[in-house]
């Protein structure tokens, strides 16, 4: 098994983060620093930042975990300290290694998936796959049809030097709307609203692909049902759990 997949499969980090760690010389196999593309055998001993984390055959012992978490505002999605803010992994406090699938801004709330499954993380992070994420957004001014149409048809974000993809936008009340994105640019919704003369007052993610926030209290998490996982994997084109 490739080393980056091994690290993702046992819940140390995503494959992308694993590649960066390997390039930085932070990963060893049998006491030797290795390079990108290294593989792990069943009896190989793997260390990360000088700490033993397991053998190649340990992957078979890892029980798949995928949870839905209703993130409160103020938590960060990095698994390290960020300006003193608590991260979601520490907040949840599971004994198993898990990590967030993608990001949700510190100032935003709502649905976040966490897992120890590298394949799920990689599939959801590939924005080109057009996976839907739905948000409910409250802004500081009344919205009209012109605003809805502008948001839906794509907005050029000068600071990112790109135009957002067309998306589904629906007015819910005078200053609240729903938006379904298929990409994940940095602070995308906030930047889009600013380009329209609006400032986001509250942003809440309510759906990722087929997984919905419905009924999950703020700060709580739940395991995904077998049916949810099966449908999610089908949508993402994942054939196995690793």
DSSP states along the chain? -BHHHHHHHTTS--HHHHHHHHHTT-EEETTEE--TT-B--TT-EEEETTEEEEEGGGGGGPPP-EEEEEEPTT-BSSSS-BTTBPBHHHHH--SS--EESS---TT-EEEEEEES-HHHHHHHH-GGG---EEEEEEESS---HHHHHHHHH--EETTTTEEPPP-EEEEEETTEEEEEES---TTHHHHHHHHTT--EEEEEEEEETTEE-TTPPTT-EEEPPHHHHHHHHHHHT--S--
What amino acid positions are annotated as catalytic residues?
105
Residue 185, exposed/middle/buried by CB under 10 A (0-12, 13-18, 19+)?
A: middle
Looking up tokens 């919704």 gives 189
DSSP states along 205-218? EEEETTEE-TTPPT
């Amino acid at each position: 098994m490739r080393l980056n997949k091994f690290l993702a499969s046992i819940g140390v980090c995503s494959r992308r983060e694993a590649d960066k760690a390997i390039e930085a010389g932070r990963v060893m196999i049998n006491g030797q620093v290795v390079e990108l593309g290294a593989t792990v055998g069943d009896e190989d001993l793997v260390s990360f930042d000088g700490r033993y984390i397991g053998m190649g055959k340990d992957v078979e012992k890892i029980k798949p975990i995928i949870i839905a978490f209703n993130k409160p505002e103020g938590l960060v999605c990095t698994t390290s300290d960020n300006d003193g803010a608590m991260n979601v992994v520490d907040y949840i406090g599971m004994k198993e290694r898990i990590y967030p699938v993608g990001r949700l801004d510190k100032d935003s709330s709502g649905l976040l998936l966490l897992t120890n499954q590298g394949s799920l993380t990689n599939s959801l992070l590939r924005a080109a796959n057009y996976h839907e994420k739905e948000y409910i957004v409250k802004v500081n001014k009344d919205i009209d049809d012109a605003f809805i149409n502008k948001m839906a048809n794509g907005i050029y974000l000068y600071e990112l030097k790109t135009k957002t993809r067309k998306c589904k936008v629906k007015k819910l009340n005078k200053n609240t709307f729903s938006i379904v994105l298929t990409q994940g640019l940095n602070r995308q919704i906030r930047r889009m609203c600013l380009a329209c003369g609006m400032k986001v007052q509250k942003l809440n993610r309510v759906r990722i692909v087929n997984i919905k926030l419905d009924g999950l209290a703020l700060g709580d998490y739940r395991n995904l049902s077998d049916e949810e996982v099966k449908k999610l994997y089908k949508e993402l084109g994942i054939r196995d759990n690793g």
